[in-house]
Structure 1
């Protein structure tokens, strides 16, 4: 076996051993066995909500074990394949092994990034809100481009999405949109996207074809679960109902089913018009409100800690620039990662930015600690 190939195998083996240690695969297998026993109970589905939670946890933990086990098997198989190809002088098989190890390295790196997600809410689903900021109609169009980018990213990974609310701008684009992404660790993954996104391009809305800079803000929250106990008394909210709006067709309801909830003590306003009934829209809006209140509570706790440390971090403000003119580039302000193909990024190819953002955040947390 060539020294270079052997070194790559050894490096990947070391990474996988570290990943297996962090994930605690033995403990995961024990949890799976316990969940399988629970899932086999004949009365499990007497409580559908609890049953769904058990089956979801079981599926997630089985997938985690399967992922790391398959990577270990692929690594072992590649070593054997390369040795056989070398012994038999099979150049084609050697080339195949060298090509396959690149894909394996990418998959190991992706799983390694997952092990860096150890925050309190990182395992949860994500609730994402996009708002247009400075830039007029271009900013509204930019906000809609970002909405498509994240929905395409979720689609590429097979993650279900649920659009809670879209507020359309008058001329083009959107003023804001809120949606949920459902997948293990998707909050921890997408939370590095929070901040201001800046677009530079020739404005399609300017008849003189001048360059325009537009801004949109991305907010990422963990989905609230019952264990969070975010108490919202009825006296603290005002609920308004109205007729849903949209670009036309079936998305425009003929009844007042859309719901807007105002949290009176804080002034936070959330709305939902995606569901068919007023009750469903109110329930969805309440989830978003609870997520925002939870974030507010955590922000206040962080502010107290930051004051003790003599100031906090400002990394969550401006975080990425997208330049379409006079050159083509997407650059992360925090990590320095640059990509020369904005079209691909805006079509949902975000993984490189997400991975570098997660690694960068972990480094910042380690240095701060």
Structure 2
């Protein structure tokens, strides 16, 4: 006989899986995979390396999504069989194993459900992340560098490629700013909830009196521009300056003027790139960053018009979004969702999925209330 609580939990899992499969549209997913497999088999694919990387990355992601759904379906079936076996043989060890597996499957289903909440216009894009040190002096610069490592470690854990486009080092320690891309489908939709002001409280390693210091760093997440976006930038609207790349402490790391700074004259947006070896490569990378910023600006203007029509005068939800407290106690807390953990070391090492999932669910609730 199936215990009522187990039966209800199993029914809830199956219902959630049906909703996930309906949203993801498995027939369409399989058709997309077949089309991408055909492209990947084309011997001329790698003639255009950038397009080839996009095709193979998207194919790998969609195959992983389909495999994850099929595996979860199988695990749900298996846990039901295991439960029936445990009950028929009155086996306490198997019953305990069933309970553990049921919790594990439930968590995996919840994680997959979050993916269905990413339905924004640009959510399926790769992400471009910009981090800048704000108030707090050298501690803020050090904090900004820790955040860069946190997001790159998060990407590494998931097997997502990253590319650092630009890093401006601070004089004493840390960085003034950095821009990098995370090359995975839905990276933008996933990480966009990380946008805002991050705050750290700790005993400053740079204060010889050992005082507690509060520092701030800003995180900006942009969707990577695609060819269909039609972001045209006339040559007469930009100013291009070249300079030598610099490393920690401001020292020159290149003997040629290979670094590029582009100023968009109509908006005043300034971007730079110094991590590529040639000026041509840095210019191309800087243009990609500028296009992403202009795309985000266009999106913000469109949203502002919609908010004006709806009478929405609320400010951006992104500011002051998370606190990392290392002293006098240890805790990382999201100020929007109230999600918190007591292990800042793990969080700063890239263990941020709980915060991201809570943020995505919170954002969906905010959208539904508007």
The TM-score range, normalised by the shorter chain, is over 0.9
Aligned equivalents of 2:291 and 2:352: distance in 1? 28
1:349 pairs with 341, 351, 354, which one? 351
Aligned equivalents of 1:140 and 1:58: distance in 2? 38
Q: Indicate the residue corresponding to 1:334 in structure 2.
A: 336
1:323 pairs with 322, 325, 343, which one? 325
Aligned equivalents of 2:164 and 2:53: distance in 1? 22
Q: Which runs of 5+ in 1 are unaligned?
A: none
Aligned equivalents of 1:182 and 1:52: distance in 2? 9
- Displacement of 1:52 in angstroms is 4.8
8 Å CA contact retained: 2:57, 2:184: no
- Displacement of 1:196 in angstroms is 0.5
8 Å CA contact retained: 1:201, 1:325: yes
- Displacement of 1:131 in angstroms is 0.6
- Displacement of 1:21 in angstroms is 0.7
Pairing 1:278–2:279 present: yes
Instruction: Provide, for residues 95-127 of structure 1, a one-character-per-residue CA deviation record: whole Å limited to 9, x for no partner.
Output: 222212222111111100000000011111110
- Displacement of 1:37 in angstroms is 4.2
1:37-48 alignment runs, 5 A limit? 37-40=38-41
Q: TM-score, structure 1 length as denominator?
A: 0.94
Instruction: Provide, for residues 347-369 of structure 1, a one-character-per-residue CA deviation record: whole Å limited to 9, x for no partner.
Output: 1110110000000000000110x
Instruction: Provide, for residues 295-349 of structure 1, a one-character-per-residue CA deviation record: whole Å limited to 9, x for no partner.
Output: 1111111111222222144311111111111221111111111212112111111
- Displacement of 1:186 in angstroms is 0.9
Aligned equivalents of 2:194 and 2:252: distance in 1? 29
Aligned equivalents of 1:321 and 1:40: distance in 2? 47
Q: Is the deviation greater in 41-50 or in 178-187?
A: 41-50
Q: Indicate the residue corresponding to 2:85 in structure 1.
A: 84
Instruction: Provide, for residues 37-89 of structure 1, a one-character-per-residue CA deviation record: whole Å limited to 9, x for no partner.
Output: 45455665665555554444433322222111111111111111221232233
Give secondary structure in 2 for the equivalent of 1:162.
strand
Kindly tell me: are residues 81 and 107 of structure 1, through their superposed partners in 2, closer, same or farther at Cα, counting changes over 3 Å? same
Aligned equivalents of 1:280 and 1:24: distance in 2? 39
Q: TM-score, structure 2 length as denominator?
A: 0.93
8 Å CA contact retained: 2:57, 2:185: no
Aligned equivalents of 1:27 and 1:137: distance in 2? 51
1:151-300 alignment runs, 5 A limit? 151-247=152-248, 252-300=253-301
8 Å CA contact retained: 1:303, 1:312: no
Q: Is the deviation greater in 222-231 or in 264-273?
A: 264-273
Kindly tell me: are residues 255 and 358 of structure 1, through their superposed partners in 2, closer, same or farther at Cα, counting changes over 3 Å? same
Give secondary structure in 2 for the equivalent of 1:318.
coil
Aligned equivalents of 2:299 and 2:292: distance in 1? 11
Aligned equivalents of 2:94 and 2:24: distance in 1? 33
Moved over 6 A (4+): none
Q: Indicate the residue corresponding to 1:146 in structure 2.
A: 147
Q: Indicate the residue corresponding to 1:136 in structure 2.
A: 137
8 Å CA contact retained: 1:113, 1:355: yes
- Displacement of 1:35 in angstroms is 3.6
Q: Is the deviation greater in 180-189 or in 310-319?
A: 310-319
Q: Which runs of 5+ in 2 are unaligned?
A: none
8 Å CA contact retained: 1:230, 1:294: yes
8 Å CA contact retained: 1:321, 1:331: yes
8 Å CA contact retained: 1:244, 1:252: yes
Q: Is the deviation greater in 239-248 or in 311-320?
A: 239-248
